[in-house]
Amino acid sequence: MFIHAFKSLRANPMRTLLVFGSLTVSVTAVFLINAIAHGIVSSYSTILRSDGDLIVTQAKISDTFFSDVDTALIPKIRKIPGVEKVTAMIVGASPVERLPIVAVYGLSPERMERYRLLRGHYPGPGEVMVGRSIAGRLPMPALSIGDRRFRIAGVFGSDTGFESGGVVLTLKDAGTLFHKKASMLFVDLDGRVPAEKVIAAVAALSPKIEVKSTESFVKNYHQFRIIETSADVISLIALLMGLISIASIMSVTMLERKYEFGILRALGYGRGVIVGRILLETLWIGVAAYLTALAAALGILWILRRLPALQGYVDGIITLPMAVEVGLAALGITVLGAILPAWKSSGIDPMELITRGSRA
Amino acid sequence: MIVAVDLVHFYGQERVIDGISLQIAPGEFVALTGESGSGKSTLLSILSTLLHPDSGHIFIDGQSMETLKDPNRFRREYIGFVFQFHYLIPYLNIRENVALAAPKRSGEEIMELLERLGIGAIAHKMADEVSGGQRQRAAIARAVANGPRILFADEPTGNLDSKNSEKVFDLFRKIADEGTTLVVATHDRRLAERADRIIEIKDGRLV
Ligand SMILES: Nc1ncnc2c1ncn2[C@@H]1O[C@H](COP(=O)(O)OP(=O)(O)O)[C@@H](O)[C@H]1O
Ligand SMILES: [Mg+2]
């Protein structure tokens, strides 16, 4: 039966190619959208997780871009028992020279050291350091961010696309650019007081702030849920499109092949065997299409990561669970797209299949 | 023993089989004749369980076809059918097509059968690579490969010249003499003469 499936596929190269093509395109799309969404979420999570046990943001804010936290809270938080260190960060985005949008990070001095300095020194007042991914595309001694000019102090590297494609400056300079004191505060704990107690104590300082453990912040961050949900919805649409094209190709071929099924039925083969034969044929294609799509997606992501215009921001990641999940989804649509028409056309009297099939 | 009682079948409004009852004894070679459109193919399909009649009953060796538990197994083990057109599966070669009808038979047994029907030499060719006569013999090989008790054939010589037609009927005579029940639809009176009995139908009724 394995060999029969193979022969059938080879005998109908056009049909085989069409099913293979539509499946490959839809699975590649699913891989890309999920990989890119996962890349965005995991990059920003990495930045958020990099430092600090607690995150303090403005209360009732949906996006950290809009968060504004008063740095006057920092000395007060430092005095709370169990707190070891408090740092601040501003996250913004702005045109930089000819680049239309660049991530801009304003950091308190302690946070600077997290960035691997490749050249020069960490920025002081009126200075920036620029990420490796965009350094080559910026003019050298000085640049404009928005309407202000800064001297380039150095170049840094980072494994996170959002960082290596961005610029870093002092908290104060970033504050002037974005008209705020800080986007968020990171609180390190010394472990001597339970986190919940510290969270409560920090939260009590001001009604305008929200305090969460870093993990719970990342898990519940609304923007991540939006990205992930969008990716799920687009994946579903891509899969449905694949399913529809496979099912329609299959139902056209089922018409052509009715007499074949009629003969098999007349020879005493049950519906299950016929469905099984068709399934086996499409599974061959399914496996080939899945592997091709995986390779294509990895290739496209590799290119996107290196495309200068994208500044390294599109850093798609295909994880093993994702590969398994997409594999199962591809398997699902292959099976459905093949079984439905085969099942439908194998339920009639053999002679009707044979004569209708040959008349059609 | 095939017993058919009051078979009726419609295609749309047309009463194609109009109350046919008949009996065919085990080992009998019956020719079904009649003009084109008289209902031979339809009757053959119904008798062979490949088509459900709209009403009427069929018993084969005392077994009612309506209460048959496993029709697939019945077709696999009891029935052989030679269709009017060869209907070989195009992506399989002759040997594979024949083997499909008898999955339990070994490769040698299938080859032996092909040799016996004079098509051993083309076993590895595809259906569209051989002559009409060879295709028809392959279709017959497929029909008898499972050693059926009843062999049905619908115009098995319809697309053959007279020499090849003779050969096919010689073969059928031999199969019948070996004890297989044979029901063959043909509009060729001369060939029909070689059967044990001729059943003639006209407008869906026995004449
Ligand atoms: N699948 C079908 N659908 C509709 N009409 C059919 C079909 N098969 C046969 N008929 C009609 O039934 C009648 C009997 O056909 P058939 O049994 O093929 O006769 P024969 O084999 O004697 O030529 C004819 O009028 C034919 O047009
Ligand atoms: Mg006919």
| Nearest ligand, CA B201 | 1
> CB–CB of A350 and B51 under 8 A?
yes
pLDDT averaged over every residue in chain B? 92
* Cα A270 to middle of ligand 2, angstroms: 26
Domain final position from A181, A207, A233: A207
Give the pLDDT confidence score for residue A311 in this predicted structure: 77
Q: Are residues A154 and A235 both part of a single domain?
A: no
Helix axes A222-266, A320-345, angle to 10 degrees: 30
**Domain identity same for A193 and A252:** no
| Residue at B62 is within a domain | no
Residue A44: predicted pLDDT: 85
pLDDT at residue A50, as a whole number: 76
Give the number of A-B residue pairs with CB atoms closer than 8 Å. Answer: 56
| pLDDT confidence of residue B108 | 93
Q: What is the pLDDT of residues A158-204, one digit of tens each?
A: 888 888 899 999 999 999 999 999 999 999 998 888 999 999 999 99
Chain B nearest-CA distance from A353, in A, is 10
In this prediction, residue A288 has a pLDDT band, given cuts at 50, 70 and 90, of: very high
> Distance between CA A351 and CA B4 in Å, rounded?
18
Same domain as A78, residue A152: yes
Interface test with B, best of A1, A16, A351, A358 (most B CBs within 10 A): A351
Is A202 a domain residue?
A: yes
Quick one: pLDDT at residue A256? 80
Residue A360 confidence (pLDDT): 37
A265 touches chain B (CB under 8 A): yes
Mean of all residue pLDDT scores within chain A: 88
Q: Summarize pLDDT for B163-204 with one digit per residue, the tens.
A: 888 888 888 999 999 999 999 999 888 888 989 999 999 999
pLDDT at residue B21 greater than cutoff 60: yes
Instruction: Give, using CA atoms, the residue closest to atom 4 of ligand 1.
Output: B11
The answer to whether residues A71 and A183 belong to one domain is yes
Give the pLDDT of residue A316.
85
Query: Of A157, A180, A207, which one is at a domain's C-terminal end?
Result: A207
In order, the DSSP letters of A149-188 are EEEEEEEEE-SSHHHHTSEEEEHHHHHHHHTSSBSEEEEE
Q: Which domain holds residue A23?
A: 2-44+224-359
Domain count, chain A: 2
Residues with CB under 6 A from ligand 1: A 355; B 11, 16, 34, 36-42
CB contact under 8 A, A4 and B76: no
A272 and A346 share a domain? yes
Distance from CA of A338 to the nearest CA of B (A): 19
pLDDT of residue A149 exceeding 80, the answer is: yes
Would you place residue A357 in the very low, low, confident or very high pLDDT band (cuts 50, 70, 90)?
A: low
Picking from B73, B81, B90, the nearest residue to A266 by CB comes out as B81
pLDDT, one tens digit per residue, over B98-124 is: 999 998 899 999 999 999 888 999 999
Q: Is B182 helix (H, G, I), strand (E, B) or coil?
A: strand
pLDDT of A47 reads: 83
pLDDT number for residue A359: 44
pLDDT, residue B22, reads: 95
Is A218 part of any domain? no
- Going by C-alpha positions, the residue among A176, A42, A262 that lies closest to residue B49 is A262
Contact B92 A7 (CB under 8 A): yes
Establish if B3 belongs to a structural domain. Answer: no
CA distances from A261 to A16, A251, A254, A301, A351 (A): 18, 13, 9, 43, 10
Of all residues in chain A, the percent with pLDDT exceeding 70 is: 99
Q: Are residues A14 and A123 in the same domain?
A: no
CB burial of B177-196 (b: ≥16 within 10 Å; e: otherwise) equals eeebbbbbbbbbeebbebbe
Contact B72 A270 (CB under 8 A): yes
Whether B13 maps to a domain, the answer reads no
Number of domains within chain B: 1
- Do A64 and A137 share a domain, yes or no? yes
The answer to whether residue A51 sits within a structural domain is no
- Does some domain include residue A213? no
A260 touches chain B (CB under 8 A): yes
Q: A265 and A291, same structural domain? A: yes
Indicate whether A219 belongs to any domain. no
B22 part of a folded domain: no
**Ligand 1 centroid distance, CA of A315 (Å):** 65
- B187 within some domain: yes
Instruction: Specify whether A197 is located in the same domain as A266.
Output: no
pLDDT band at A255 (very low <50, low <70, confident <90, very high): confident
Longest pairwise C-alpha distance within chain A: 89
User: Which ligand sits closest to the CA of A351?
Assistant: 1
Q: Does residue A264 belong to the interface with chain B, where contact is any CB pair within 8 Å?
A: yes
Tell me the residue type at B204.
Answer: G
Flag whether B59 is in a domain. Answer: no
A49 part of a folded domain: no
What's the whole-number mean pLDDT along residues A263-292?
90
Q: Is residue A89 part of a domain?
A: yes
**Residues of chain A with C-beta less than 8 angstroms from the C-beta of B72:** 265, 268-270
C-alpha angle with apex B118: B113 to B123, nearest 5 degrees? 70
Residue A103 counted as domain residue: yes
Whole-number pLDDT of residue A100: 87
* Nearest one of A189, A96, A179 to A134, comparing CA atoms: A96
CATH of the domain at B139: 3.40.50.300
To the question of pTM greater than 0.80 for the whole model, the response is no
Pairing mode, if any, of strands B55-60 and B197-202?
A: unpaired
Quick one: A108 and A198 in the same domain? yes
Reference A111, options A202, A191, A218, A187; nearest CA is A187
Residue at B125 is within a domain: yes
Confidence (pLDDT) at A358: 52
pLDDT at A85 over 60: yes
Cα–ligand 2 centroid distance for B165 (angstroms): 17
Pick from B50, B87, B101: which is nearest to A259 by CB? Answer: B87
Quick: pLDDT tens for B122-149. Answer: 999 998 899 888 998 999 999 999 999 9
Are both A232 and A349 inside the same structural domain? yes
Nearest CB to B100; choose among A11, A262, A267: A267
* Token pair of A79 as six digits: 């005095």
Which one of B42, B45, B154, B155 would you pick to mutate in the ligand 1 pocket, going by the greatest count of ligand atoms within 8 A of its CB? Answer: B42
What was the pLDDT predicted at A91? 92
Instruction: Please report the ipTM that was assigned to this predicted complex.
Output: 0.92
Q: Which of A27-31, A62-66, A246-250, B131-135 is modeled with the greatest confidence? A: A27-31
Residue B148 falls inside a structural domain: yes
Q: Which domain holds residue B96?
A: 28-53+67-206
A174, A242: one domain:
no
Q: Of A152, A180, A207, which residue sits at a domain end?
A: A207
